[in-house]
Amino acid sequence: MKLAAFYMLLFVLQVNAKVYSQKVTISQHNLSLEKVFRTIQKQTGYHFLCTLEQLKDTRNIDINVKDASLEDVLEHCFKDQPLKYAIANKTIIVERKAGIFSLPSVLFAEISGNISDSAKGTPLQGVTIQVKGTAVGTVTDENGYFKLTVSEGSILLISYLGYNKQEILYTGQQKLNIRLSASRSGLNELVVVGYGAQKKATLTGAISNLVADEIQTTTHSSLAQSLQGKMPGLQIRQNTGEPGDFNTMINIRGFGTPLYVIDGITRDGATEFQKLNPEDIESISILKDGSAAIYGLNAANGVVIVTTKKGTSGKAKFTYSHVTGFQVPTSMPKMTSAAQHMEMMNEANINGGGNPIISKEELEKYQLGLPGYGSTDWYDETFRKYSTQSMHNISAQGGNESVSYYLSFGLQNDEGLLKSGDMDYKKYTFRSNITAQLTKDLTADINLSGLSDTRNKPGTDFFTIFKQTRTSLPTESVYANNNPAYPNMILPLDNPVFLSDRDYTGYNETKNKAFQSTIALTYTAPFLKGLRVKGMASYDSNDELIKSLVKSYKVYKYDPTTETYVAFDKNNPAKISNTNTDRNRVNIQGQIFYNTTIAKDHNIGATLVYEQTESKSRYSYLSRQYSFYTNDQIDQASNNVQETRGNEGEAANKSYLGRITYNYKSKYLLEFAGRYDGSYRYSPSNRWGFFPVVSGGWIVSEENFLKNKVPLISYLKVRGSYGTVGQDNAANAFQYIQGFSTSGGASYEFVNGTSLNGVASPPIVNEALTWYVANIANIGLDVGLFQGKLTFEGDLFQRDRTGLLAYRSVSLPNTFGGALPQENLNSDRVQGFDISIGHQQKLRDFSYSIKGNLSFSRTMQMYVERGPFRSSMERWKNGTGNRWTDIRWGYQVNGQFQNQEEIYFAPVQDGNLGNTKELPGDFRYNDVNGDGIINDQDQLPLFRNDQPKYYYGLVLDASWKGFDLNMVMQGAGDYTVRFGQTYAGPFNFNGNSPEFFYDRWHQADPYDPNSPWIAGKWPATRFDANRGAMGLESDIWRKDASYFRLKSIMLGYTIHSAFIKRTGIKNIRIYVNAHNLFTIADSFVRQFDPEKIEGDYSGGYTYPLTKSYNLGLNVTF
């Protein structure tokens, strides 16, 4: 008989380090022997040794005993059964009565051991040790200790959630010391959640996490760009590439701008987050579902939690990192040359019924580029080919049993693309995180950080400068008569070369200084295991100083008849201004944590927190005009024309919150949390709100029917959550107080030359105004296969918001004189999903991982306050309630007119002008309702809006010996863009035209009205008044902007040599990195870069996104 036959497969656990009673209490009817044996084993600690075959044909029994001896109970159980038993030590050996009773010949021994984490050396509680092929096993206690009776030759299976499994052959050892290594799935990693940290394996909320190594694989001046494409549910879109702008959309699941929490304190927002030094960050977590309710106030859009690095025990480790590189625009639409421009100008005048502007001979001179007929590329004259960037960072990390520290200093320098060199950004950061063990039970954490940055720009904003490189005519030159002493006057606005030069137009300088400090004391109670009490206080300060100088200057026009230069004044008079903003915030928290384990299997955690925040701000503005410019000081400007204004603000909130977590055997998970928030904005009766969340999970892979029985599945968890979160930062404060406003009235002059401001009547008081509420539901599934080599995480979510602010749609008499208040009227819903799939493998010296993620969401307006509809058509066309918010209406294009006859018989598409302005090559539109007229009744819901519905990313990591490779690919889809202004037609603003309009319908010889038409992509060139219906909303203009991009690629090599180590250097890593290397998108959209927003007036005049090429160095010593 095989050895496994002596182990009863049904009785699975031996619980050690516990005192068992020799008395048994059972009261059951019709109970099987199997269940009786289980109960006896649980109450006495005795183990049964038998086979499944031996329990066949046994009868169920009735038993009713209390505090009976083990022997009496066994006699009752075996009475009239085909079995007999014997007791050896604490093992009950069962045999069939027909056989001769003898102990097995196999030698049994009681062994013990300890199991710990291989990296940290800490004991692991709850590790399962099981004899392979049997159900005999045990688990470790809180000290990682276990005892088990086994036979020589047995194979022990060691398994623990989040760690790699081990098989150990028992060959007679009395004591085993086993060290488990963490699995690559990262299930044992601690993930920072609201006011604490939890093991990834036992999380019940939808929380994504990145650690330092994953963040730093992408090198960029903005932290947000280092995260793009790496986290499911985190939607990031870079709106502009301007140095120091940090205008990046950061969104969780399409909910909106999230709350930012840095080292346990709620901070200012996305800009502050993006300015963080990536080298200082230990981890970033995002709370995507109702788990954000723990932050209550303003967490309805999700929460981004940043944890910075702390000290470690051991010798000091110094790290120096340096990155230098250059960047160029990802793309840039070209404008027409002088020859193309004049050719199109000629055609436009002819097509509008006029005569050629220049003769054919004159046009040929432009086409040949003869002297005096050259072409100016205004972009090339204003912008350089590339700009440079560099970053330096040095840090120290170390400590001992009493004090540990992390110190860092960083420097960043980004140049702009302007040739003048007058656009740049510089940033300095420092951080000091110190942890001190003041006493055996008292720990202090002191975190200090600071930032000082300066952003320089010309006195003219980038929008205007770049627009002028689009509109300035290529037939004009930079200097009047090509004389460098005389800047040429360029219409319609001005010469972009000089607009970008601070020596001519002035400058705008923004200086920002930020300081953050946090002090925390943590007391670990010696009298109650698992109890910790923490007090924390923080003070943040931010000072922003903006200095703006608008200088007057002269431009010139050359008069060849008199050979003189005629001067024109610009920006006259000159003006200087200073803007000062000071912000301060104090946060105080009191926290109590308690964790305990009851009866070894019931793990309970509790958190209680009191938090209050007070913030104050002060703003002032002062400006003066110059009688004549001297220097850039306020005091040197004139007293005659000056302006001052300012204000102060104050806000305060209080919160009480708690959380209870429970898990049974780390298998059944339950969590409840709630936050009671108070806001100063509302009346006392509506000032407080309670925001709860409940979540649960079931780790199916820990069930006996799966654990160690289905090798394919290493981890399987089902989880769900439902939470209520509040948002209050949209409402105007104090609407429950009636009062007149001194800032909204008219201006009156009762005394000649003396102006008095009147007061504005108050709006209706609304004491019922309160928070709007978001209810978030989430269902998730986490799967690990092949020992964590293949992982999957998926979530379905829905957020319903009610009480959104709106003004009631009612008619008021003209004599009312007041205004309606804000009310909690509207509602909306966001639905979607996010998934991530990962694979990792190690093959000797080569290891790799692939991680992909996808997030999709759409928003529907459920109720929108408005007046009644006047018709069913208006309801269909303009209704917004119970509709998706991303729909755009437009016309269906049915090709282009091929000849004049088609135009004559086509539906009228240009209003009162009929089709008199249409020409061959113009777009023709579908007459949807068949009435012979193209108007808004023919529009259909054809397009998505300009916000992507899905975002995705793919991260590839590989390493071989000293080499490492990282690639990040990302993209977005299901959205459109439409560019206006210069890009919406030729000669807009009487300026130049984009080169793509040169591919146009035109006559072979525009000087011959009878010459044939040559087809092109765009209609025949005309000035704005003669374009007909060319610009109607359609897929000609509104383009699908979906894209795929190689976001970053990094190749590095780490040098570990004996020679280097003798110098005191531990290792040197050299790497090259490229960012935004290539993009796949619609050919028309790609020239603008599909990720970038259209900007003001949909003009496309925002600073271009850039691709960068960098060389980096990391030295550890």
DSSP calls for 849-892: EEEEEEEEEEEEEEE---PPPSSHHHHHHH--TTEETTEEEEPP
Other residues' Cβ atoms within 10 Å of the Cβ of residue 386: 16
Look up the CATH number of domain 190-320. 2.170.130.10
Residue 14: φ, ψ to 5°: -105, 125
Q: Work out the angle between the directed axes of helices 338-351 and 360-368 (0-180°, nearest 10).
A: 160
**CA-closest candidate to residue 372, choices 476, 459, 524:** 476
Could you tell me if 108 and 122 are in contact, meaning their C-beta atoms sit under 8 angstroms apart?
Answer: no
Q: How far apart are CA 581 and CA 1058, in angstroms?
A: 54
Write out the DSSP string of 50-76. --TGGGTTPPPEEEEEEEEEHHHHHHH
Rounded distance, CA 997 to CA 1002, Å? 11
Q: Which residues of the chain are in CATH 2.60.40.1120 domains?
A: 108-180
DSSP conformational letter for 184: T
DSSP assignment of 1-47 = --GGGGS-TT---B--S----SEEEEEEEEE-HHHHHHHHHHHH--E
Bridge partner residues of 852 (DSSP): 837, 954
DSSP annotation of 1025 reads G
In which residue ranges of the chain is pLDDT below 70? 1-21, 51-52, 88-89, 98-108, 133-135, 161-162, 183-188, 743-745, 817
Between the alpha carbon of residue 695 and those of residues 63, 204, 997, the distances in Å are: 41, 6, 57
The tokens 């089902």 sit on which residue?
Answer: 718
Rounded CA-CA distance 409/280 in Å is 9
Q: How does DSSP classify residue 170?
A: -
- Which residue in 309, 509, 324 sits closest to 414, CA to CA? 324
Q: Which of 850, 687, 875, 848 is nearest to 770 (CA)?
A: 687
Burial call 1074-1093: b when 16+ CB within 10 Å, e when fewer: bbbbebebeebbbbbbbbbb
Contact 634, 549 (CB under 8 A): no
Distance from C-alpha of 918 to C-alpha of 1027, rounded to nearest angstrom: 7
In terms of phi and psi (left: phi > 0; alpha: psi -120 to 50; beta: otherwise), the region of 246 is left
CA distance 610 to 591: 7
Looking at the DSSP bridge assignments, the partners of residue 952 are 854, 971
CA distance 492 to 981: 13
Q: Is the peptide bond before 684 cis (omega within 30 degrees of 0)?
A: no
Distance separating alpha carbons of residues 907 and 391, to the nearest angstrom: 62
CB 1010 within 8 A of CB 1003: no
**Unique residue bearing structure tokens 């203009």:** 1037
Cα-based distances in Å from 932 to 813, 898, 916, 973: 42, 19, 15, 36
Instruction: Please name which of 877, 1043, 1071, 1076 lies closest in space to residue 968, comparing C-alpha atoms.
Output: 1076
* Residue 103: per-residue pLDDT: 43
Location of each CATH 2.170.130.10 domain in the chain: 190-320
Burial (CB count <10 Å: 0-12, 13-18, 19+), residue 383: buried
Q: Is 781 exposed, middle or buried (0-12, 13-18, 19+ CB in 10 A)?
A: middle
DSSP string, 626-638: -SS---S-GGGS-
The length of the chain is 1117
At position 66, the amino acid (one-letter code) is: K
Burial (Cβ within 10 Å: 0-12, 13-18, ≥19) of residue 254? buried
| Amino acid identity, position 879 | G
With DSSP H G I counted as helix, E B as strand and the rest as coil, what are the percentages for the chain, rounded to 5? 15, 50, 40
In the numeric block, the tokens 């036979």 are attached to 151
Can you spell out the DSSP letters for 351-420? Answer: HTT---SS-HHHHHHHHHT-TT-----HHHHHB-S-EEEEEEEEEEEEE-SSEEEEEEEEEEEEE-SBTT
451 neighbors 276 (Cβ within 8 angstroms): no
Asked if residue 156 lies in contact with residue 187, where contact means CB atoms within 8 angstroms, the answer is no
Considering only CA atoms, give the Rg of the chain: 37
Would you call 664 helix, strand, or coil by DSSP? strand
pLDDT at 190 (0 to 100) = 73
CA atoms of 323 and 279, how far apart (whole Å): 12
Whole-angstrom distance, CA of residue 221 vs CA of residue 391: 8
Q: Which residues lie closer than 8 Å to 361 by C-beta, 6 or more apart?
A: none
Q: Which amino acid is present at 83? A: L
| Cβ burial, residue 136 (10 Å; 0-12/13-18/19+) | buried
What's the sign of the alpha-carbon dihedral 985, 991, 992, 998? Answer: positive
Tokens of 719: 């989880």
Q: Which amino acid is at 975?
A: Y
H helices present in 230-389, as ranges: 270-274, 338-351, 360-368, 378-382
**Assigned CATH topology for domain 3-96:** Phage tail protein beta-alpha-beta fold (3.55.50)
Return the closest-CA partner of residue 801 out of 733, 864, 854.
Answer: 864
Which neighbouring-strand residues pair with 699?
717
Q: Count the Cβ atoms, other than its own, within 10 Å of residue 548.
A: 18
CATH topology of domain 108-180: Immunoglobulin-like (2.60.40)
User: How many angstroms separate the CA atoms of 956 and 851, rounded?
Assistant: 7
> Kindly report the CA angle at 540 between 538 and 542, in degrees rounded to 5?
180
For 731, residues 6+ apart whose C-beta sits below 8 A from its C-beta are 681, 682, 769, 805, 822
For 138, the 3-state DSSP assignment is strand
* Peptide linkage before 573 cis (omega within 30 of 0): yes
Coil, strand, or helix at residue 380?
Answer: helix
Quote the pLDDT of residue 1.
37
CB-CB neighbours of 960 under 10 Å: 13
Task: Judge contact between 352 and 1101, C-beta under 8 A.
Answer: no
Alpha-carbon distance 191 to 193, whole Å? 6
The two three-digit tokens of residue 1006, written as one number: 């525009």
Q: pTM of this prediction?
A: 0.83
How much is the pLDDT for 956?
Answer: 96
Cα first-last separation, the chain:
62
Q: What amino acid occupies position 756?
A: L
Residue that the structure tokens 């209390």 belong to: 66
Q: d(Cα 244, Cα 951) in Å, to the nearest integer?
A: 25
Region of residue 712 (left: phi > 0; alpha: psi -120 to 50; beta: else): alpha
